[in-house]
Amino acid sequence: MCCYCKQLTCPIGCPNYEPPKPKRYCKICGNGIYEGDEYIENEDGECIHYECIDGVRDLVKWLGGEIRVMK
């Protein structure tokens, strides 16, 4: 039990509070991907937040796909 806040898990504001450590980092924004976050992983093992995707074209390019024009 914390000697300041008297809790087992210290809340934000307690001097002993430690922010959670990210499990992965987003390749687009660089911020951490935490437990409960929605993300996408490509074949290279890179991860991005779901909300960092601007559109389908960007997603296809990031996943390594190719958009072609039929001739």
Does residue 45 sit in helix, strand or coil? coil
Quick check: 4 and 16 in contact, CB under 8 A? yes
Kindly report the pTM of this predicted structure: 0.67
- 67 pLDDT more than 90: no
Please, which pLDDT band fits residue 59 given cuts at 50, 70 and 90? confident
Backbone angles phi, psi at 62, to 5 degrees: -65, -35
70, HSE (Cβ side, Cα atoms, 13 Å):
0
pLDDT tens across 27-53, in order? 999 999 998 999 999 888 999 999 998
Rg (CA), the chain: 19
Partners of 24 in beta bridges = 33
Quick check: 40 and 53 in contact, CB under 8 A? yes
